[in-house]
Structure 1
Amino acid sequence: MHYYNFNCTDAVLRSLDGEEFPVHRLILGLSSPVFQGMLGLPQPNTNTSKKSTIDLSDPSDTLKPFIQYLYPRSPPKITDISMWAALYAIADKYNAEVVMEPLRDMLIPRFLETHPLRVYAFASQWGFEEEARIASRRTLTMDILNDFPREEAEFMGGAACQQLLFLHFNRREAARAVVGNHPPPSSNSPLCQCPPPNYTCLVLALCQHVATRPWLTAEELYGEVGKWDYPGKCNSTCRNTIKNMSAYFSSLLKGLSDLPQTI
């Protein structure tokens, strides 16, 4: 399917697997200085009855959406991060900023939640410093110190991999220190008959949690609290106990949020 008038095209791009894409010299020249050099624009010969054919080393499944991006129509929907990577690589190859800019803009909003490590890898590969920082923070919800995916390590290269591991290790050790050393809440009101909470088991569980995933959210904290054998109801008021525990959890999360979060 072509997104333009087929009859007025004056050049052909032929993919590595032999598929031909009729295109316009003007569009190619305006979009890419590399294509402009290949086509020799402007043409000294005004006879355009014979279309110039350029053989490219790119496969058709990548070349087709790339060409769609060059034309002022609706761009293709990129839902796979591997396709995003292939498209950005070909756009960089031909220095087509008209394609590179929208692809960069979609990287974080479209793929961060589902592929944070891959986003970090590609952002590091292409020098997207801000996107790499954002993605590095999102990876703190993952256990990469004990199980680092080999494929992602190959994508991001040694320096970026080392930076991320350094962040995770330091954050893990700092988070364990915050959890382990966090002062327990003050004693309950004398009017309350509840036994004082024993935070030892909860602290141990939280330390184990941050040892693998050094990003503790409120949902995860209260998930661990739900497994904890905290004091039950008594005949008197437990309001002071609940207030103290809530303050303890809030200050704990605040202490964790103050730790380094990005590369």
Structure 2
Amino acid sequence: MSNTEEITTAEAPFDDQNCDNILQSTNGVNFHVYKLVLSLMSPIFKDKFMSPHSESQSDETSIPIIAVAESSTTLRSLLCYPAATPTFDSLDDAKAVLEAAKKYDMQPALSRAGDLIIAQFLTDHFLDLYALSCRFGWQHHAQTAATRALEIKDLGRPSNGFNGLQDITGADYHRLLVYHYQCGIVAQKVGDSLSWLPPSSGEMQLQMWICKCRLTGSAKTLQIGNVGELKIVP
């Protein structure tokens, strides 16, 4: 932070003058916090508070000030847990919160942020969320994102649409491609053969789940007796 930048105080609930510590963001916003609360949330902060050599300064009220490497936007979302549910203006903001939660070993906040990010950004960013889920070990979220990735017909071809490759290993990406390929094989076999259909003399209600494929968009159409049209993803 520049020496000439004005120091401001964060809005409630981080403006409590009875606090016993202040976290100062990179853009000069002071967050008034309590050591006990932060120690319970983060073993990293707990060690920092216990260390006699903790890098801090004090203002005129003698409240220790700890400068951190996060912006006020990131700190606000990070410290909202568990009192409130944070919201994210963008996926980049959400990623910054995840990095901070990992840095300070705030596991409950990290898990909660993962749920919120999936709920908020899955529709438009499922490949990036697959990468984040692999990175942070969220198997359930990785499966959800991989299933949505089945909508991408040309997955694996050179593309600028996957900005999360730097967040995962080659093995993680290979697993996604294998999953995508195998689901396509299963869907193709279903389209080529009707042996899986049970015999019926009346109207039939079909409910089909094939690797959780979404039967929308570009698909082949089969006419099955009086049942009607069935679309199969090629």
Answer yes or no: same fold by TM over 0.5. Answer: yes
Which residue of 39, 50, 53 maps to 1:29? Answer: 39
Cα 1:147–1:173 change in 2 (3 A) is: farther
The residue aligned with 1:108 is 118
The CA deviation string for residues 228-251 of structure 1, in whole angstroms up to 9 with x for no partner, is 9xxxxxxxxxxxxx76163673xx
The residue aligned with 1:199 is none
List gaps (5 residues or longer) in structure 1. 42-48, 186-213, 229-241, 257-263
The CA deviation string for residues 150-179 of structure 1, in whole angstroms up to 9 with x for no partner, is 413223331211111122223334433443
Identity of aligned residues (%): 21
The residue aligned with 2:142 is 132
The residue aligned with 1:146 is 157
Structure with the higher fraction of residues in strand conformation: 2
The residue aligned with 1:158 is 170
Which residue of 35, 59, 78 maps to 1:66? Answer: 78
Asked if the contact 1:10/1:50 (under 8 Å) is kept, the reply is no
Which residue of 68, 77, 94 maps to 1:56? Answer: 68
Asked if the contact 2:43/2:105 (under 8 Å) is kept, the reply is yes
Residue 216 of structure 1: how far off its partner (Å): 5.2
Relative contact order (C-alpha < 8 Å, sep 6+): which is higher? 1
Asked if the contact 1:33/1:95 (under 8 Å) is kept, the reply is yes
Asked if the contact 2:22/2:65 (under 8 Å) is kept, the reply is yes
- The number of residue pairs the alignment matches comes to 199
CA RMSD of aligned residues (A): 3.3
Partners of 1:53 and 1:76 in 2: how far apart?
24
Residue 95 of structure 1: how far off its partner (Å): 1.3
The letter for the 2-side match of 1:55 is: A
Partners of 2:106 and 2:189 in 1: how far apart?
49
TM-score, normalized by length of structure 2? 0.70
Partners of 1:174 and 1:140 in 2: how far apart?
12
Q: Alignment partner of 1:78: what SS?
A: coil
The letter for the 2-side match of 1:152 is: G
Cα 1:170–1:243 change in 2 (3 A) is: closer
Does 1:84 find its partner at 2:65?
Answer: no
Cα 1:245–1:160 change in 2 (3 A) is: farther
Partners of 1:5 and 1:102 in 2: how far apart?
24
Residue 23 of structure 1: how far off its partner (Å): 1.6
| Larger radius of gyration between Structure 1 and Structure 2 | 1
Does 1:94 find its partner at 2:66?
Answer: no
Q: Alignment partner of 1:151: what SS?
A: coil
Partners of 1:2 and 1:151 in 2: how far apart?
35
